[in-house]
Amino acid sequence: MCLGEQARNANKTAKRQYKYQLAQRERNWMNTLALTNVERVQHEQTMDASHVGLANAYAEIQEKYRDQIGKALQQDEVDWKEYLSKGEGQRLAASGVTGRSAERIASRDLASYLAKGSRKAYELTHMRRELSKAGGQAAGKARQMQLQSFAKNNIVKSPDLQPPKPVFQNVAMAQFKEALGIASQVATIATPFIPAPTGSSKKLKDNIVKIGRSIAGHNIYKFNYKGDSRRYVGVIAEEIQQTVPEAVVTMPSGFLGVIYDLIDVNFHEVPA
């Protein structure tokens, strides 16, 4: 076999190997993108589930507290009726018995009734503290779930290193250029999802009106950006910086921005 034929065969083999490596690299990258999209959906589902779970926990806590208040009021009605109907002081007064002894008995009965009410009020106060503690624990678990999900999805992924280009002899220059064209196609693959911050500094806004609070306690405002008549709903970055500092970043403009994926408030436009 002549040297020219040997060179052409060697170039063909090198070209096939290079194309195979590029195709394998592209397949791996497409699989990575597909997995990243799945992780993004899972992240969004995790955020939604944590918000729903926290809302359910707060609703359950409030329902328990309302039930206890209702039971306390019912028991107070029973105690009041018992005081009026069965109290020794009330019986003596109804019989026309007066004097210091009768007054002491009536005072004792009233003190007993008030003591029951005081104990029930203490029990309600103690229960409220316990339920508030349970609410704080639920909020902490939801926050930990959100941060873990965000950390998992905040990793910037990139394709594997491009395989080394084959060294062709001059007789295979066309094949070499074709391999370069294949390599350039892989370089155009998009990067994965990265949550972007939204400009939320108070310095950027006008006509700020507070309209409520989120489940996690963040103030929610309606506002418009300076020079823009459209109205939006969101938070103030300076406030979020005090409570959830990891959700606030400094944008290239120098103003503070908020990563809304890390808090339980959705930024959106509303009718003016």
Q: Tell me: the pLDDT tens digits for 225-238?
A: 999 999 999 999 99
Cα separation, 84 vs 112, whole angstroms: 12
Cα separation, 80 vs 87, whole angstroms: 10
Q: Band of the pLDDT at 70, cuts 50, 70, 90?
A: confident
Give Cα 186 distance to the centre of its chain. 35
Q: Is 167 exposed, middle or buried (0-12, 13-18, 19+ CB in 10 A)?
A: exposed
> 162-176: per-residue pLDDT in tens?
778 777 666 544 343
Q: Is 6 exposed, middle or buried (0-12, 13-18, 19+ CB in 10 A)?
A: exposed
pLDDT at residue 43, rounded to an integer:
74
> 86-119: per-residue pLDDT in tens?
666 556 655 665 666 656 766 776 677 687 778 8
pLDDT at residue 175, rounded to an integer:
41
Cα separation, 41 vs 37, whole angstroms: 6
Whole-model pTM over 0.85: no
Q: Is 236 exposed, middle or buried (0-12, 13-18, 19+ CB in 10 A)?
A: buried
pLDDT at residue 195, rounded to an integer:
64
Mean pLDDT estimate for the chain: 77
Strand order, beta sheet including 256-258? 198-199, 256-258, 248-250
R_g of the chain computed on alpha carbons: 36
pLDDT at residue 196, rounded to an integer:
75
Q: Please state the rounded mean pLDDT for residues 145-167.
A: 72
Overall residue count recorded for the chain in this entry: 272
Q: Please state the rounded mean pLDDT for residues 239-265.
A: 93
CB–CB of 222/231 below 8 Å?
yes
pLDDT at residue 188, rounded to an integer:
38
> 188-207: per-residue pLDDT in tens?
333 444 467 888 899 999 99
Query: Which whole-number Å values give the CA distances from 270 to 44, 205, 234, in the listed order?
Result: 22, 15, 10
pLDDT at residue 267, rounded to an integer:
94
* DSSP per-residue string spanning the chain: --HHHHHHHHHHHHHHHHHHHHHHHHHHHHHHHHHHHHHHHHHHHHHHHHHHHHHHHHHHHHHHHHHHHHHHHHHHHHHHHHHHHH-HHHHHHHTT--SHHHHHHHHHHHHHHHHHHHHHHHHHHHHHHHHHHHHHHHHHHHHHHHHHHHHHH-PPP-PPPPPPPP---GGGHHHHHHHHHHHHHHTTPPPPP----EE--GGGEEEEEEEEE-TT--EEEEEEETT---EEEE--HHHHHHH-GGGEEE-TTSSEEE-GGGSS---EEE--
